Structure formats: C-alpha cells, structure tokens
Amino acid sequence: MTARTVLLLLLPLLIASGCSSDEGEPPPGDPEVGQAAIREYGCGSCHVIPGIGGADGRTGPSLERIAKRVYLAGVLPNTPDDMVRWIREPEAVDPRTAMPNMGVSESDARDITAYLYTLK
C-alpha cells in the first residue's frame, strides 16, 4: 500500500472528524524528484533546507516551514505557481534580489516546489 492510498483511505476520516488539513491539493510535481533536483542545483549552498544533507547555507533565508510562509522573498504571496515562477526567474519577481537565475526547467521547478511544500 503506498502512502497515497493510505492518505486516500484516511481522508474521509479526517473530514468526518472535522480535522481539516489546512492545505488544499498538493501542488503538481513529484517531491522525491524535487528533493534530488534541489541537491543537483545546489540550493543548499545558500539555504538551510530540512531533509537535504549539507544544505546549511547562510546567504539566503532558511527554508524551514517554507510551505507555511505567507510571502515568498518577502514580495510574492506564497502559492505553488508563484513558487515555480520565483524559482525559475527570481530577477523577474524582484529585480533587486541576490537570488540567481539557475536556469531551472519548468518541470524541475514543479518538482522542487512539490518538495518545498512538504516543509511545514
């Protein structure tokens, strides 16, 4: 039984008991692939990222609980679409940002976003 099936089985229970999980649908993308992509792009050299070995950079902010953060980069409302946009083209979101454009592909950005949204 995969984790997803377990979740699906539990879902009616959660709803019935009135315990809403506060997120809606998880963002499209594969969190596991995203986790590998984060290692590949070296995000951890600038950010602390839980679950990524050696990700202890102190150039940018820590990404602990990034799924709960209200704003991205202090300027964008934190939605999956905005997260993808920010990861792909940070300079388009905030021209003054120190975050570089790493040439992340759309699908990589989706997967990375899926992983980041597991950080609650």
Partner 1 sequence: MKNQNRQDSVRKIRKRIEIHVGIAIAALVVAMGVGAAGFVYWGAYNVSALQQHTEPVFTVLNMALDRSIRQRAEEVETPRLTAEMAEQGRPIFQRKCVQCHGAPGVGRDDVGKGMTPVPPNLAHTAKAKSAAEVFWSVKHGIKMTGMPSWQFKFTDEQIWNVTAFVMRLPELSPAEYQAMVAEEHVEEGADRNDVSAPAQARRAATPDAERGKMAMYGYACIACHRIPGTVGPHSDVGPPLAGIGGRRYIAGVLANTPENMVHWLRHPTEVDPLTAMPDLGVTEQDALDMAAYLETLE
Which residues of this protein are in contact with partner 1, per CB under 8 A? 48, 58-62, 64-65, 68-71, 73-75, 94, 96-99
Q: Which CB, 54 or 68, lies closer to partner 1?
A: 68
Min dist CB 33 to partner 1, Å, is 25
User: Residue 54: what residue type?
Assistant: G
Residue 98 burial by Cβ neighbours in a 10 Å radius (0-12, 13-18, 19+): exposed
Q: How many CA atoms lie within 13 A of 49 on its CB side?
A: 26
- Give the residue with the Cβ less far from partner 1, 12 or 77: 77
CB closer to partner 1, 33 vs 73? 73
